Structure 1
Amino acid sequence: MHKATETVLEIDLNALAQNYRYLTSKIEKSTRVMGVVKAFGYGSDSAAIAKELVALGVSYFAVAYPNEGVALRKADIETPCLVLHPLPATFKQIVDHCLEPAIYSRAMLTAFIAFAEKEGLSKYPVHLKFNTGLNRLGFLADDLDFISEKVSNTKSVKIKSMFSHLAASEDASEKVFTESQIAQFEKISEKIIDNIGYKPLRHMLNTSGVLNYPEAQYDMVRTGIGLYGFGNDPEENKHLKPVATLKTVISQIHTVNEGETVGYNRAFKATKTTQTATLPVGHADGIKRIFGNKRGWVTVHGKKAPIIGNVCMDMIMIDVTDIDCEEGDEVIVFGENPSADELSQVIATIPYELITGVSQRVKRVVCRK
């Protein structure tokens, strides 16, 4: 365990391994796993996460944008990598770094085939994204004949996989809708297979899909948030461990007398003698301003210390009146206590937003607890 002497994001690879093993215990041994490492590995360190996942047996990676895949290649990670949201302007970057684009529209398919033919590519792997109800990106069932004709009339590309994305797999009240998405994808993918005469990989399940709809695992599953310790459900969270812990230290302790104020706009006014501690972390590091004025908290020696006053760009102040602590002591902003899940509920958001919001100026420390 790393003892913080400054603000750091500690990345626990043993927690990642635990989460991976739990998630893969829910699927068949033959089912492949696509590890989602977009957004700097959900705010952590994509290269460190990816290298550990390779050792654990992951078959594929997924990123949102090509530059995220390029970062993996620069870290000597050669595992196939799907780019979920390519654009025509990024085709060359994708091909130059052996990345594989998700193709999600007629215009995109036409443009990529034209690019591939111009570049003299042969059977370049592409992945077809189908919209079954999320209504974000993806082909529709009406596009199947167009896809089949375009792909069959070129040697420049080959369909490596077909996939869709569940919209509400964590919500039991949406089971009928989720099952309708799965049924749509089954029908669409079977028709494509019949039309093209070979069988690409199929994948549809995200983390909550793996946990709630394992019958639809097909050839591969995609897992993102679960790898990082969150199962979108309090019961599932018990089996998972947060990979990232945001730590900082106490820079200075103040005695604030009754009637004195703390921070910008004098947002905190002491009603009694109060001990405050100032921490070197603020909204430029991912601590949202809304956590100020006692909505959010941190822990010092395991004890809850509310954030007082307004969150500053580079600092927050906390109430340590009832906590025995000194300057230089370690403080947990989020990790296991408090968890990003707990804090996100306070401001009506989701842990994704907190963990991906940790600024890149925060030092990353990779460890094994």
Structure 2
Amino acid sequence: MPEAKETVLEIDLGNLAHNYRFLRSKLDKDVKFLSVVKAHAYGSDSVAIAKKLQELGTDYFAVAYVEEGIRLRENGITLPILVLHPQVLHFEEIIEHCLEPNLYSERTLKAFISAAEKSNLKDYPVHIKLNTGLNRLGFDQPEIKKVFDLVTGTKSIKIASVFSHLAASEDWQERDFTIGQIDLFRKMTWQLIENLDYEPILHICNTSGVINYPKAAFSMVRTGIGLYGYGNDKNVDPELKPVGTLKTIISQIREIGKGDTVGYNRVFKAEKPTRIATLPIGHADGINRIYGKQKAGVYVNGKYAPIVGNVCMDIIMINVTGIDCEEGDEVIVFGGPQHPVAFAEAGGTISYELITGIQRRVSKKIIPE
């Protein structure tokens, strides 16, 4: 195998395009599509991902924090950007960069109205979050009249969308709860918008909602993890293609004898002569200690090699006994022969945590469609 150069996350825009088109195919043509690119586009590259999605025809973007939206604006993203969890401190920056805030409480709604009026704005687009059972952010049903009064009591803002978040749309055992959320959302939105002289966008479906509850698409869906290749369902995952493949190299290979130990705290003890390879990646890169002690492994020249000992800050060690390999050879941590879900599950976690945990010091390589 050709010698790799460094630890790198390959970001395949062709796979992104495939996932976008697959999810779009589940929707009626008039349903808008919001692409979630928070957390560096789920651990990849928010600018490259957003530019490709803008090219593909997405209607909206969403980020978690204001600084993420500013970065997209500074790199040429012109589509509307919803900020899902803005803080009052950053409302002036939101206005300056034409971002659109999620207003999820009386405090945030009043504060943004004040900021908008101070800037002499008219009909500035905002988004109203309703709590239908996830119990994180959002207005509860008894607060709807107060929201309506505040929104209609000023000309500075206009509701661009009303939305909520499903708690367990991937879990069929929670189907009754999910349907209850959808029904409550329908009731709450009607209470809020029935007396408006315009019709905001409505959205509650996440990736699993798109797949399992397509009739609840309303006028827009909001997808994140599905765009990056994960369906939260073993039957759906084969239809999607993971966008990221994490690769590294073999720095050194050594032979150890029976009874020799490897790494901190001497966790791994060889029961027979063993061949150990050292890789330049560790928990400071996002491969956490949960993957050590042979719980998870990587692929070297198509062969599985378990991680031995404790994962170090910048290094992991793998058992390559019986594998034809040399120093400098490429190693695939996840992607390719090993689906990231399998790697995450081996460590007792989920794909979300794995892919968003890849640290910024890991080099990125964009593979065009």
- Shorter-normalised TM-score: what interval? over 0.9
CA contact (8 A) 2:267 2:293 kept: yes
| 1:53 alignment counterpart | 53
Task: Tell me how far apart the structure 1 counterparts of residues 26 and 16 of structure 2 sit (CA, whole Å).
Answer: 16
Matched residue SS, 2:128: strand
Say if 2:246 is the partner of 1:251: no
Superimposed CA distance per residue, residues 25-61 of structure 1 (whole angstroms, 9 cap, x where no aligned partner):
1001111110000000000000000001011110000
SS at match of 1:108: helix
AA aligned opposite 1:159: I
Structure 1 residue aligned with 2:25:
25
Query: Which aligned segments of 4 or more residues in structure 1 are displaced greater than 4 angstroms?
Result: none
Shift of 1:210: 0.1
Aligned partners of 1:131, 1:211: CA distance in 2, in Å?
A: 22
Shift of 1:3: 7.3
Secondary structure of 2:195's partner?
helix
SS in structure 2 at match of 1:196: coil
Segment of structure 1 superposing worse, 331-340 or 252-261 = 331-340
* Contact 2:290/2:348 (<8 A) preserved: no
1-side partners of 2:183 and 2:353: how far apart?
31
Paired residue for 1:170? 170
How far is the alpha carbon of 1:320 from its aligned partner? 0.4
Q: Displacement of 1:347 after TM fit?
A: 2.6
1:263 is matched with which residue? 263
**2:314 aligned partner:** 314
In 2, distance between residues paired with 1:291 and 1:270?
19
Q: Aligned residue for 2:94?
A: 94
Identify which range, 185-194 or 93-102, moves more after superposition: 185-194
**Separation of aligned partners in 2, 1:233 and 1:302:** 26
> 2:231 is paired with a residue of what secondary structure?
coil
The worse-fitting range, judged by mean Cα deviation, of 346-355 and 76-85 is 346-355
Other structure's SS at 2:317 match: strand
Does the residue aligned with 1:173 lie in a helix, a strand or coil?
helix
The whole-number CA distance in structure 1 between the counterparts of 2:102 and 2:108 is 9
CA deviations over 1:308-335 (Å, ceiling 9, x no partner): 1111100001000011001111000111
- Aligned counterparts of 2:281 and 2:142: Cα–Cα separation in 1: 51
Structure 2 length as normaliser, TM-score?
0.98
- Structure 1 match to 2:223: 223
* Separation of aligned partners in 1, 2:363 and 2:120: 43
Asked if 1 retains the 8 angstrom alpha-carbon contact of 2:3 and 2:328, the reply is: no
SS of 1:61 mapped into structure 2: strand
Range that drifts further, 256-265 or 169-178: 256-265
Q: Which moved more, 1:228-237 or 1:332-341?
A: 332-341
Q: Answer yes or no: is 1:116 the counterpart of 2:113.
A: no
Q: In structure 2, how many angstroms separate the alpha carbons of the residues matched to 1:220 and 1:102?
A: 16
Which segment drifts farther, 66-75 or 333-342?
Answer: 333-342
Q: CA deviation at 1:95?
A: 0.8
1:335 maps to which residue? 335
SS at match of 1:215: helix
Q: Equivalent residues in 2 for 1:33-72 (5 A)?
A: 33-72=33-72
The answer on whether the counterparts of 2:3 and 2:329 sit within 8 Å (CA) in structure 1 is no
Q: Give 1:151 deviation, angstroms.
A: 1.1
Q: How many residues align?
A: 368
Cα distance in structure 2, aligned partners of 1:3 and 1:275: 19
Q: Which moved more, 1:193-202 or 1:316-325?
A: 193-202
Residue type of the alignment partner of 2:249: V
Counterparts of 2:65 and 2:301, CA distance in 1: 40
Listed as ranges, the gaps of 5+ residues in structure 2 are: none
Instruction: Give percent identity, aligned residues only.
Output: 57
Summarize the alignment of residues 285-296 of structure 1 with structure 2, pairs less than 5 Å apart.
Answer: 285-296=285-296
Deviation of residue 152 (structure 1)? 1.0
Paired amino acid for 1:129: K
Letter in structure 2 aligned against 1:154: T
Alignment-derived partner of residue 363 in structure 2: 363
Q: Which amino acid aligns with 1:48?
A: A
Tell me the TM-score normalized by structure 1.
0.98
What is the CA distance between 1:191 and its match in structure 2?
Answer: 1.8
Q: What is the 5 A alignment of 1:144-163?
A: 144-163=144-163
Q: Distance in 2 between matches of 1:7 and 1:127?
A: 40
* Farther-moved stretch of structure 1 (140-149 vs 218-227): 140-149
* Displacement of 1:340: 1.7
Comparing 268-277 with 2-11, greater Cα deviation is found at 2-11
State the Cα distance separating 1:307 from its structure 2 match: 0.4
CA contact (8 A) 2:204 2:221 kept: yes
How far, CA to CA, are the matches of 1:250 and 1:228 in structure 2?
27
Q: 2:130 — aligned with what?
A: 130
Match of 2:12 in 1: 12
